[in-house]
Amino acid sequence: MTFLRNNLRRLTESPYLLAGLLFILALAVRLPYLGTFLTVDEVKWLEGGGQFLTAIYNGTLAKTYWHFHPGITLVWGEAIIMWGRWLTMSNGTDLPSFVTAQLSDLAGLSGAMRLSGVFITSLTIPALYWLTRRLLGNAPALIGAILLAINQFVLAHSRIINGDATTALFMLLSTLAFLWLWQGSGLRMAALSGAWAGLALLTKLPSPIIIPWIGLLALIGYGQKRSFRFWAQALVLWGLTAVIIYVAIWPAMWVAPLNTLQLIYHDAFEVGEVGSGHSAFFMGQISDDPGWIFYPVAIAFRLTPVTSVGIVLAALWLIFGWKSQAATVRRVGWTLAAFALFVILTANFSPKKLDRYVMGVFPALDLLAAVGLWGIWQELTKVWPRIKQGGMFAAIFVVAAQGIFTLSHYPYLLTGYNPLLGGITKAAKTMPVGWGEGMEQAATWLNAQPNAQNLRASAWYSDIFHPYFVGQQASFSDDGRSQLAADYVVFYVNQIQRQKPYPGLVNYFRSGEPVFVVDFTSTGQPANLPVDDKTHVHWVEVYKAPAAQSAGGAPKVEGMAQLLAYKITNANGTERQDDSPNMSSRNNLDITLFFRTLGPLPPDTLFGVALVPFSTGQDLKWGEWQQTEIKDKWVEGDIVEWRGNLTLPADIPAGQYRLWVAFQFKDGPVIAEFSISEKDPPIKLE
């Protein structure tokens, strides 16, 4: 035991070795199962990497602008990886064609491209330790770096391509480097801080908040020590370094700097609608702005138990004070807390709110938690000196507790929510959840169905579902036509939370039982449960769809209804398919009409249904309609199935027809009609 303790002590006294081990640890927990599933927004990041590389290859450097993020640090990594794949896998194909081919297989490409963020974030962990050890001391710096390396939320976003974790780590590194100036360091640390800030600004919003934040730190530093001239020089050097990094690494800034900056501003506020709200679920309600309380709640759910306890201890220390803590540690602790608060306050300026928008909070809170945990240990050793010999084992216990919580959710790390607050089940009832995990499992289930290649599936987040699905793509339309026309419909948890695209469509499908579900247990692992099990949150639900014909050309009757789709079968039960096979002209046709109700149905209203010649200019109507059943009551906002039988006369000519549907009063005039457009497939009679 003494031998182990002595070797561990020697290890902790070697910062270079520790930095290397921290990098290995961060890399080790980020590498496995990288290509398991796609997440929201990754498709455009993958395409951005392809555009970036192609622009450099073709010499059209202005086109290295691909998004207002702007995402340059990560797409540089993606471009290098894709270039390496081209060198080893192209078989003589030119690079642009190779990139296009690679982007056609996003499921196979994502794992390799994620290495960009994995390596960048892994490198920031030892850098953070190196900067923090002078400010907090070696032990809290080491504990904080390890907690951060295996922090569930930061780790999850480090393993996908979206830039949030990378930006958060860059901003904290910039802050820590600038805090060295409070400790008497020279101006070179201002340059290092500026370099980190430049990388953050190149990566993703909300990185521009680092600019006023550093200005605030300089103002506080001026109030404590050193001259105004020093801090002015520090800010100038910080800004120049940030600008140099920003320009040097982004080729678009070499050739079209003003136009690039204009595009960022325009796309951010006009296309990306930064500053505008969007439909969000919070506390059981749906609104465009869930309010200021959203971020404290979301952050609390994303904390690990270890970090939660450490933050409470750190708060007690900051408020009441422990004599064992140095003044420097206290200042840094308050600064970390202030930075977290600053991120939350600035994020609240936008009504558009998601937990990842305050990613910058989590690295600061991990360091703060390390200060709290180390501080309470120091106090305990004063009361019970004998336990001091067990410090190493206490630290190992803390790290193991953090690691167990995180790794138990592998590889679906984004399903991890604070068990102290009720975990995944409570989180799903409180805040938006789900990043796309589980969609690939739904695709796998559908791929195992008979004739899977000919199945049509309509899925929410279709761009991250279809790369795994072997069948035919169907859109997820706002009005529901494509869903009704599909063979299967795939719903996702945050879509259900927000009742997208509208409650009537969601309720129409969810009133039945799903044929397949994906659940995640409290450990973040998929649960093999019956589809009607209600004890777990359904992350993904798959429903059998009507496979009807979309009424794409039918007009909407405002205030009354919209004909979304229809389904026709012969009296013998043979269904009409989308490719319009011939149907017997002597058979009666059973027809189901799918309406979206937009208002009340006038009393004594009947449907008129007939076949009309497909060509324009002929209004002759064939068939006698008898409505047989209304599946649901006519309730505004719902989808209603209205069924009936169309008896065709024996002398109806063979040819192409289209469906004519009308609202009309009983024994009275037509109120409104839905004549199916000639753009829709015809009904062929022989």
Residue with tokens 């194909």: 93
Helix axes 361-383, 115-136, angle to 10 degrees: 40
Please give the Cα distance from 120 to 399 (Å, whole number): 22
State yes or no: pLDDT of 277 exceeds 90. no
Ranges assigned E (strand) in 163-272: none
pLDDT digits (tens, 9 = 90+) for 576-631: 444 444 454 556 888 888 989 988 877 777 778 888 887 766 668 888 887 766 65
- Asked if residue 433 is part of any domain, the answer here is no
> What confidence tens digit (pLDDT) does each residue in 529-542 have?
555 555 568 899 99
* Residue 526 counted as domain residue: yes
* 599 in the same domain as 513: no
Higher pLDDT, 153 or 636: 153
Kindly state whether residue 528 falls inside one of the protein's structural domains: yes
Q: Which of 185-189, 224-228, 245-249, 454-458 has the lowest mean pLDDT?
A: 224-228
> Which of the 8 DSSP states describes residue 582?
E
Residue type, 60: T
Answer yes or no: do 577 and 660 share one domain.
Answer: yes
**Same domain, residue pair 523 and 608:** no
Residues 631, 565 share a domain: yes
Q: Which amino acid is at 465?
A: F
Cα separation, 512 vs 543, in Å, equals 8
Helix (H, G, I), strand (E, B) or coil at 608: strand
- Please count the other Cβ atoms lying within 10 Å of the Cβ belonging to residue 319: 7
Q: How would you write 440-463 as a 3-class SS string? A: HHHHHHHHCCCCHHHCEEEECCHH
Beta-carbon contacts of residue 262 (< 8 Å; ≥ 6 apart): none
Are 531 and 480 in the same domain?
yes
> Which residues, other chains included, contact 89 with Cβ-Cβ below 8 Å and sequence gap of 6+?
98
Q: Which 8-state DSSP code applies to residue 554?
A: P
For residue 94 the two structure tokens come to 């030119």
Q: What is the predicted pLDDT for the residue at 7?
A: 57
Give pLDDT tens digits for 20-78. Answer: 999 999 999 999 999 999 998 899 999 999 999 999 999 999 999 999 999 999 999 99
Residue 155 forms part of a structural domain: no
Rounded to the nearest 5°, which phi and psi values hold at 663? -85, 135
- Within this chain, do residues 534 and 555 fall inside the same structural domain, yes or no? no
**Is residue 661 situated within a structural domain?**
yes
Domain that holds residue 466: 439-544
H/E element holding 43? Answer: helix 42-58
Q: Is residue 14 part of a domain?
A: no
pTM for the model: 0.91
593: left (phi over 0), alpha (psi -120 to 50) or beta: beta
Q: Does residue 8 sit within a domain?
A: no
What's the number of CA atoms in the CB half-sphere (13 Å) around residue 404?
9
Q: Measured between alpha carbons, how far is residue 347 from residues 43, 216, 300, 408 in Å?
A: 25, 17, 16, 30
Do 665 and 611 sit in the same domain of this protein? Answer: yes
Residue 488, strand partner residues: 457, 544
Instruction: Please give the pLDDT value at position 322.
Output: 59
Residues paired with residue 526 on neighbouring β-strands, in sequence order: 520
**Which residues is 630 bridged to in the sheet?**
642
* Domain count of the fold of the chain: 4
